[in-house]
Structure formats: C-alpha cells, structure tokens
C-alpha cells in the first residue's frame, strides 16, 4: 500500500480510520499536556510514569480477571499517580534529587510490574494473553471504544484547561506570586499533574511504555521554538502531535513490518529537528545568520573607528588616505569598504579613501550609548 | 542447589556489583537518568552488532552498543548546549528516537534476525547458563558470567586507579579542574563505563532493570550515609542482597527473576526511604515538626517580651493573637513552662529570668543574623531536653 492509497482508504476502511483518528487524538492531547510538562521541567515524568503504570495494569487484571481496557487504564492511572506522588515526596522530604527519584520510580515500578506480569502468565487464566501489548504499544489494537474514550478525555481535559487557564498559566510562570494571590497552588498543581498522568496512561496502548516520553515531549519541544506565547504553543503542539500521529500511521500502514509507535516518534522527531533548525526567532540557522551579521556589523564599525582614529589627527577630516594602510587592520575587507561607501560614510577614489562628514560624526558617536541607536 | 542455579546467582551478583559502582557516581552527579537513556538507546547499536556478529555476547557487539551509549550522551549535551530546550527534555527526546530506530531496524529485518525487542528490554537470566563459553574445547562456564566478570574487573580496577579523581570531580568540579584532572575526560570515562556495563548486563537482566540495579542501591545507600567509601560498600551490599534474595523470590513465585530482584531492591529502598535515621521520611517529618514548634516557641516568647499589658498576655488571648490552633498553643505553652521560661499566674503568662535571657539572645540573633549566635543559643537552652 502506498501513502496515496492510504489516504484514499482512510475514509472507507473502518479499521484504518479508527486507528488514524486514535493516533491523531492521542497526538493532540499529548501535545497539549506535554507543553505543560516541558515548561514545568517535568519532561521525564512521562518516561517515569509510563513505566510506573505497568504494575497497575497487572494488578487491575489480577483483581478483575478481565482485559477490559477501561479497567486496565484505571489501574494504570492509579499506579501512575502513586508513582508521581512518590517522586514528589522523595524530592521534597529527602535529599535525593529529582533525576534519582524519577529513575527509581521508573525502574522499581517497572520491575515489580514485570514480576506481576510473569506471575500472571503462569496463571491458568487463558485471558491473559496480550497484556504485554502495553509494553510496546500496538496502534492496531485500537478499537472504536478506545478512540471514543480518548476523545472524551481530550474534551474534558480541554474544558478543564479553559476553565483553569488563568490559574495554570500563572502557576507555570510564577509559582510564588500565585501563592501570594491566594490561589490554592497545591490543588492546581495536582490537577495539572493528574491530567499529564492521564494523557500518558492513554497513550500506553498505542505507542507503548518506552516511546511515551517522546510522544509527550516532541510536539511541545517543537512548538516551543516557534512562539513565546503559552496559548499559541499549546495549540501548535496539539496540531503537531496530531499530524505526527496521522503521518506516522500513514507511513507504517504503507510498509510491511513497521510498528506504528516508533514511526510516530520518528515523525515527531523530524518536526523537532526542523523546528530546531528553521524557527525564525530561536532556530539554529537564523541564529547563525544573525551571529554572522552581527560580526560583520562589528567589523564594519571597527574599520570605521580605525579610520576615525587616523582622520582625527588631520585638520581636514576628509583628507584622503591610501587604502593600503588599512590592509593590516583586522576585520577589513573590500566588502566592508564598499559597505562603508554605500552608507555614505567614506568616499573611495583611486586607491584612496576619505572620511565624509557623516562618517566622522557616526564614528565619533560609535561608543556613545546615550545616543539612540537606529 | 543445582549448578545452573548457582551460576544464575553468580551472574546476578556480578551484575549487581558491576552496576552499583558506576551507579553511585551517577546518582551523586545527578545523572541517574542518563543511565535510563543509555539503556534504551543502545538498541540500534545492539541490532547493528547483531547483524554483523550474530552473537549477543561478542565483544564487537558490546563495543558498538557502548558506542551508541556514548553517542547518546554527546547528542543530549549537544542539544542542551543549543539552549533551545532543557537537559531533561533533551534526554527525553534523544533516547526514544534512537530506540525507535532500533525497533524499526529489527522489524525490517525480522526474517533474518533472531532478535526480539522483548529480549533486549526485559532480558532473561534463566537462560544465561545455557549459553556456554567453550575454550580449547572445554566448557569453562556461562558466557555472560565471563563477559560481566571481565567488565566488573575493569570497573574495579578503574575505580581503584581513579578513585581520588572521581571523588574530587564529583563533589567539586572547579577544584578538580584547578588540580588538573580534566572533568570532561572523567565525565566521558564514566559515561563509557556506564554504557559498557549496561550493554554487558542487558541480556542478563534486561535494559530497564539495569537501571534499577544502577540507581536503587546507590540511592538507598545515599539515604544512609554521606561518606563516599561507605556509600560504595553499602550499595554493593544492597545489590548483592537483592540479587540473591530476588532469585529465591522468583523461584518461590515462579516469576521473572529480574523482576523479582528489582522488587526486592524496591522493598529495601522503600524501607530505607521511610525509616532511615536522619534522612528518612519519618525522621524528616519529625524534625520538621520539631522545628515548627521551636519557631512557634520563639515567636511566643518574643510576643511576651513585647507586651507588658496583662490582657495581651492572657492565655486565651494568645490563641487569637498569634493565630494558633488550640492544640498547638497548648504544646507551646507546656514546652515553655517545662523549660522554666514562663510563669502562669491566673492565666496571665509572664517571662521568667531564663525566658528573658533567651528572648534577648534570640533578638540579638534576629538582628545580627549570625549563625554562631543561634548555635550558642541551642547549647544554652535545650528546648526538648527539659
């Protein structure tokens, strides 16, 4: 199947439509909440919590004995939340740093989950097969009810986000100020963390434990490069996440033997790389161009200053001097000379330069910070 | 005990020790999550190595995979240096991408390779004794035991050789560069060692549980001591204890060996986290409560010192004036009385001589804000020792 065939089939084929819608919605909610995770410096929470959800899934299965997605997700949510609050407790109450706390919760919960999973496998319950799909995620197992659940959660999340927009925003950028204004910071904090955990848990089935962190981070990290405004960033991240979901599904469907999760992550990674390089204000490319431009500007001014130093000693400032004497001066090129002439600061005629009046004044005020720079 | 059982435990113990030593330094250098990133991102290196060698224990594969680990660290640092995103975001972006590449490489060549993502991520210690190393036609033991044994020896050797340098650069980067030890070389050395350890251990315990063996013993030890040497010994002990008891737990439950070893690690850590003297959860809670009461007592005494009017010093008035709950006011009053700092006559509180001395010292401390004043005060008036 080629990619164009995929898009033709998208609206007619039921399974493909469901999966695509599912990954798109997942990408959107992850982008939305991932923005908060990135800005709150909780980027790796996604990694830790997705691993920490495993014992919850196993315990939920052990208790109920059914493989109902909603119950398993509830278990994952509970154990993810326990993990989150333990991380918080560790960093607040002991001198262990957040990286150690995250790593501990990640590996210890996951290990316990593995113990439970292998324990379940030995049970005579034939139902247990397929529990490990949560480990690596399989978008192909998405059914309509899963997608409906995702859409419901996304809308609730969007609603809460709009309802507490002001509180979330202010807590994000100035927690101390929020406290002095009398907001219940603990409640807002728990609320946003709860939704981040919820998004992570929702994504487990589709992209799996390991890749969940990229799903959460990549759209947000890409969106961050294009704007300094929170609302725009969240909107952009949601769109990028959704696109990553759709493109990832399209590419993996068009090839054999390509699981959806890794492809979505790679598509998102391409978005991130593109944003890192080509973003107009923060991107590496434009930063380098700006850097070169500034350097040229500085060299131009250095040359002008040097000329000024020579011209100052003469009574007639426009007295011509040989270009030759500039030659051993660092930062001088033929181009700078042309640029200087273009600006009307010097005149060049038969291998000689002379400072104009404007050039003299410009050079005089070069280091005068009181003057408005144009 | 049968001989495979002994061998499995031996491998587990060697892995535990080999992980615990670099783990201590990772935890102290706040780089614990790098080990997680490395453990995932070595996947493409393993896959390429496996294409070439078709042997999970070959030195070339270990070298390639460790190289991918170091590349991960370099990539993370390069992204971080651009200043576009924070360090944790950089880690969170790099390793899933590398891992995805590895997964796709496996999927694309699924027909030619007997390599499973599950196997790489989760490992299976129970199969380790079946992969024997043959030397000169004789069976000399399981391959992974030899691989991990060599890695462990290298780690111990390097630790002994560079102990001083590692110690200085971990706690004081400035001093170590002033002394002429390049922090960069030590940093990348440590990273390479961690990568090699992760790679060597992954097929025994799995990539994710290597992280547990690196971080958990070190973190547990860190809660118990602040001495680097003790911390190293303690984390080795914790690693070994959980390796052996984890094996028997798995035996009992008939479940994953690496999973139960991690569970034992988790139980040990949880116990230490809750009950460790000085740094554990409960002792911190207790200390914070004590400090709160001390501050309350001080505020109370200062209040008394400020007011001579009787109505300001009435017991009932204190409730509303300092805005305390009833219970707290009672504790503070009793404490002050027990320390002979106040006298209560007809519900009117007044400072004793000792209380006045104390208050004056406290005011002096508040004005000068010098630590030696408050230390001195603590010696003079043992608030909680009657």
Contact A314, A307 (CB under 8 A): no
| Domain boundary, last residue among A254, A282, A310 | A282
Query: What does residue A359 show for φ and ψ, rounded to 5 degrees?
Result: -60, -40
- Angle (CA) B248 B252 B254, round 5°: 105
Residue A190 pLDDT > 50, yes or no? yes
Residue A371 lies in a domain: no
- Give the C-alpha separation, B311 to B320, whole Å: 12
**Residue A196 sits in the same domain as residue A335:** no
The domain that contains A323 carries what CATH number? 1.10.10
| Residues in contact with B144: Cβ distance below 8 Å, sequence separation at least 6, in sequence order | B11, B57, B128, B131, B200, B203, B204
Residue A225 lies in a domain: yes
What is the predicted pLDDT for the residue at A374?
A: 47
Lowest mean pLDDT among A57-61, A261-265, B116-120: B116-120
Lowest mean pLDDT among A38-52, A144-158, A346-360: A346-360
- Angle (CA) B277 B279 B285, round 5°: 95
Residue B76 pLDDT > 50, yes or no? yes
* Contact between A41 and B86 using a beta-carbon 8 Å cutoff: yes
**Residue A119 sits in the same domain as residue A238:** yes
What sign has the CA pseudo-torsion A112, A98, A215, A277? negative
Q: H/E element holding B130? A: none
The domain that contains A56 carries what CATH number? 1.10.3470.10
What is the predicted pLDDT for the residue at B47?
A: 85
Residue A8 lies in a domain: yes
Domain of residue A165 covers 3-282
Binned at pLDDT 50, 70 and 90, residue A213 comes out as confident
**Residue A30 sits in the same domain as residue A102:** yes
**Residue A18 sits in the same domain as residue A116:** yes
What sign has the CA pseudo-torsion A25, A31, A32, A33? positive
Residue A167 lies in a domain: yes
**Residue A351 sits in the same domain as residue A247:** no
pTM (two decimals): 0.84
Residue A369 lies in a domain: no
- Angle (CA) B378 B309 B314, round 5°: 70
**Residue A255 sits in the same domain as residue A296:** no
**Residue A206 sits in the same domain as residue A332:** no
**Residue A115 sits in the same domain as residue A228:** yes
Residue A10 lies in a domain: yes
pLDDT per residue as tens digits for the range B83-110: 888 888 898 899 999 989 988 888 887 6
pLDDT per residue as tens digits for the range A162-182: 999 998 999 998 989 998 998
- Interface confidence, given as ipTM, is 0.84
Domain boundaries, chain B: 3-279, 287-380
* Multiple choice CATH, B287-380, 1.20.1530, 1.10.390, 3.40.50, 1.10.10: 1.10.10
**Which residue among B30, B103, B259 places its CB closest to the CB of A97?**
B30
**Residue A275 sits in the same domain as residue A297:** no
What is the predicted pLDDT for the residue at B384?
A: 47
Contact A77, A201 (CB under 8 A): yes
**Which residue among A115, A225, A284 places its CB closest to the CB of B263?**
A115
Averaged confidence pLDDT in chain A = 85
* Interface mutation target, options B25, B41, B88, B102, chain A, most CBs of A under 10 Å: B88
Total number of domains constituting chain A: 2
* Contact between A136 and B117 using a beta-carbon 8 Å cutoff: yes
* Closest residue of chain A to B97, computed from CA coordinates: A266
Binned at pLDDT 50, 70 and 90, residue A313 comes out as confident
Residue B201 pLDDT > 50, yes or no? yes
Lowest mean pLDDT among A29-38, B13-22, B327-336: B327-336
* Contact between B100 and A261 using a beta-carbon 8 Å cutoff: yes
* Contact between B107 and A259 using a beta-carbon 8 Å cutoff: yes
What is the predicted pLDDT for the residue at A76?
A: 92
**Residue A39 sits in the same domain as residue A144:** yes
**Residue A248 sits in the same domain as residue A310:** no
Residue B343 pLDDT > 70, yes or no? yes
Query: What does residue A159 show for φ and ψ, rounded to 5 degrees?
Result: -60, -50
> What CATH topology corresponds to B3-279?
ABC transporter involved in vitamin B12 uptake, BtuC (1.10.3470)
- A373: which DSSP letter? P
């Amino acid at each position: 199947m080629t990619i164009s065939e995929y898009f033709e089939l998208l609206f007619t084929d039921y399974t493909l439509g469901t999966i695509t819608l599912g990954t798109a919605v997942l990408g959107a909610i992850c982008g939305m909440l991932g923005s908060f995770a990135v800005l709150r410096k909780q980027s790796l929470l996604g990694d830790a919590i997705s691993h920490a959800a495993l014992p919850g899934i196993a315990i939920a299965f052990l208790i109920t004995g059914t493989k109902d997605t909603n119950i398993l997700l509830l278990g994952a949510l509970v154990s993810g939340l326990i993990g989150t609050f333990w991380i918080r407790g560790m960093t607040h109450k002991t001198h262990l740093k957040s990286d150690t706390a995250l790593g501990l919760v990640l590996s210890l919960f996951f290990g316990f989950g593995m113990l439970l999973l292998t324990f379940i496998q030995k049970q005579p319950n034939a139902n247990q097969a397929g529990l490990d799909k949560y480990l690596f995620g399989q978008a192909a197992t998405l059914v309509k009810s899963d997608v409906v659940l995702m859409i419901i959660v996304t809308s609730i999340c969007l609603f809460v986000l709009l309802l507490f927009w002001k509180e979330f925003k202010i807590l994000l950028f100035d927690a101390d100020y929020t406290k002095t204004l009398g907001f219940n910071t603990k409640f807002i904090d728990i609320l946003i963390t709860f939704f981040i955990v919820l998004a992570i848990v929702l994504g487990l089935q589709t992209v799996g434990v390991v890749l969940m962190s990229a799903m959460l981070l990549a759209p947000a990290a890409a969106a961050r490069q294009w704007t300094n405004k929170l609302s725009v960033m969240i909107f952009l991240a949601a769109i990028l996440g959704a696109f990553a979901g759709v493109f990832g599904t399209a590419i993996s469907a068009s090839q054999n033997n390509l699981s959806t999760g890794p492809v979505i992550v790679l598509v998102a990674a391409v978005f991130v790389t593109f944003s890192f390089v080509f973003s107009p204000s923060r991107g590496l490319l434009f930063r380098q161009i700006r850097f070169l431009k500034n350097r040229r500007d500085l060299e131009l001014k250095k040359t002008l200053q040097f000329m000024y130093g020579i011209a100052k000693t003469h009574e007639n400032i426009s007295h011509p001097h040989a270009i030759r004497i500039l030659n051993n001066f660092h930062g001088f090129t033929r181009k700078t000379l042309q640029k200087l002439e273009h600006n009307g600061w010097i005149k060049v005629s038969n291998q000689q330069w002379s400072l104009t009046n404007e050039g003299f004044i410009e050079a005089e005020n070069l280091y005068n910070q009181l003057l408005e720079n144009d | 005990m049968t001989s495979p059982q002994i061998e499995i435990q031996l491998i587990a113990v060697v892995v535990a020790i080999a992980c615990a030593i670099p783990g201590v330094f990772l935890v102290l250098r706040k780089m614990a999550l790098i080990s997680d990133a490395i453990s995932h991102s070595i996947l493409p290196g393993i896959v390429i190595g496996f294409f070439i060698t078709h042997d999970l224990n070959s030195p070339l594969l270990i070298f390639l995979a460790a190289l991918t680990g170091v590349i991960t660290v370099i990539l993370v640092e390069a992204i971080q240096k651009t200043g576009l995103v924070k360090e944790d975001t950089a880690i969170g972006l790099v390793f899933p991408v590398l891992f995805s590449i590895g997964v796709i490489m496996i999927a694309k060549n699924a027909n030619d390779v007997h390599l499973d993502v599950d196997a790489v991520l989760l490992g299976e210690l129970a199969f380790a004794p079946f992969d024997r190393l043959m030397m000169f036609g004789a069976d000399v033991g399981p391959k992974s035991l030899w691989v991990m044994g060599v890695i462990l020896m290298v780690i111990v050797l390097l630790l002994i050789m560079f102990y001083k340098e590692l110690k200085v650069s971990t706690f004081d980067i400035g001093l170590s560069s002033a002394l002429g030890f390049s922090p960069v070389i030590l940093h990348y050395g440590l990273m390479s060692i961690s990568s090699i350890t992760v790679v060597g251990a992954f097929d025994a315990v799995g990539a994710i549980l290597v992280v547990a063996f690196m971080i958990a013993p070190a973190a547990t030890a860190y809660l118990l001591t602040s001495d680097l040497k003790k911390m190293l010994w303690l984390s080795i002990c914790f690693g070994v204890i959980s390796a052996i008891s984890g094996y028997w737990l798995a035996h009992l439950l008939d479940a994953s060996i690496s999973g139960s070893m991690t569970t034992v690690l988790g139980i040990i850590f949880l116990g230490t986290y809750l009950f460790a003297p000085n740094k554990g959860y409960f002792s911190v809670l207790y200390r914070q409560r004590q400090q709160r009461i001390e501050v309350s007592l001080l505020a109370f005494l200062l209040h008394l010192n400020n007011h001579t009017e009787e109505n300001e010093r009435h017991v009932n008035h204190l409730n509303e004036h300092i805005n305390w709950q009833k219970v707290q006011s009672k504790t503070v009053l009793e404490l002050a009385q027990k320390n002979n700092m106040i006298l209560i006559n007809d519900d009117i509180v007044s400072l004793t001589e000792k209380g006045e001395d104390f208050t004056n010292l406290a005011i002096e401390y508040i004005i000068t804000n010098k630590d030696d004043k408050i230390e001195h005060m603590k010696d003079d008036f043992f608030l909680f020792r009657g």
